[in-house]
Amino acid sequence: MSLRLLSYNIRYGGVGREDPIAAVVNSCSPDVVVFEEAIRPEVVEHVAAKCGMKTWGSMKGHSLGYASRTEIVKAEWHNIPFGRRRYLELTLDEKGTRVFGVHLSAIHSNITERRRMYETTSLLSGIARRQTGFHVITGDFNTLAPGERLDLSSLPLRLRAIVWLTGRNIRWRTIQLMLDHGYIDGYRKLHPDGEAFTFPTWDPHVRLDYIFVPSAHIGRLASCEVMRDAPRAREASDHFPLLSVISEA
């Protein structure tokens, strides 16, 4: 048995793009989808129905939502103190297998990177209090991993100005914080030299979407791929989805 887990930022709630989003999801054949920017519940409901998914959840105005082909034992949204977005906790089975969905603060700058580090620290503290079994963390981290580079010339002028005004050379530390807490960057583990950019779909040049697995369980990650060839992906959203396959222990 294995779990096909999709993380997908559907951009501004996905209104008017429900059918392309559903086409992308269907092409990936996931068991569970974690959506980011799923701020419109009616869109998540529509996509879930089009994809034959029994269960879905979304909260108006909140980024994280989900859809699943199987019943979810429990779905909870948790606040990050002083954070801008809640994170999602899905309990998948009676054994306590959990998926945590996250969407960290946006904008490339040293100021927002410090905010993402704070959000990540709070996230990991919350997970440590609640989680006793196997789990993964997936979503849009809005940051770069160690060794990856951002081509500033690819940014809009206003965003380049923010980078320059906040110190020019951004110190990307959020993903290192995840690694320091014993998590493995799933994509990088399976593709050490891969450049699977997830954003934006019309000019892919940066990887913002991740799955992290506790180091003791990394052997359960069978595959992790950016679905750049999914039909209608470029009209559905500004992010390509990330599909991970997780095997039984």
Q: Report pLDDT digits (tens) over 53-72.
A: 989 999 999 999 999 999 99
Q: Report the candidate in 60, 57, 58 with the shortest Cα–Cα distance to residue 71.
A: 57
Q: pLDDT of 180-196, one tens digit each? A: 999 999 999 999 998 88
Average pLDDT taken over every residue of the chain: 92
Domain count, the chain: 1
- Beta strands 183-185; 209-214: pairing state: antiparallel
pLDDT at 155: 61
Model pLDDT, residue 159: 57
Average pLDDT over residues 89-93: 95
Domain limits for position 139? 2-247
pTM confidence score = 0.94
Name residues whose C-beta falls within 8 Å of residue 15's C-beta, 6 or more positions apart in sequence.
Answer: 40, 43
Give the burial class of 4: count Cβ atoms within 10 A of its Cβ; 0-12 exposed, 13-18 middle, 19 or more buried: middle
CATH of the domain at 122: 3.60.10.10
Using a pLDDT cut of 90, give the percent of the chain over it. 78
Q: Is the peptide bond before 200 cis (omega within 30 degrees of 0)?
A: yes
Q: What is the chain's percent helix, strand, coil content, to nearest 5?
A: 30, 25, 40
Give residue 163's pLDDT band: very low, low, confident or very high (50, 70, 90).
Answer: low
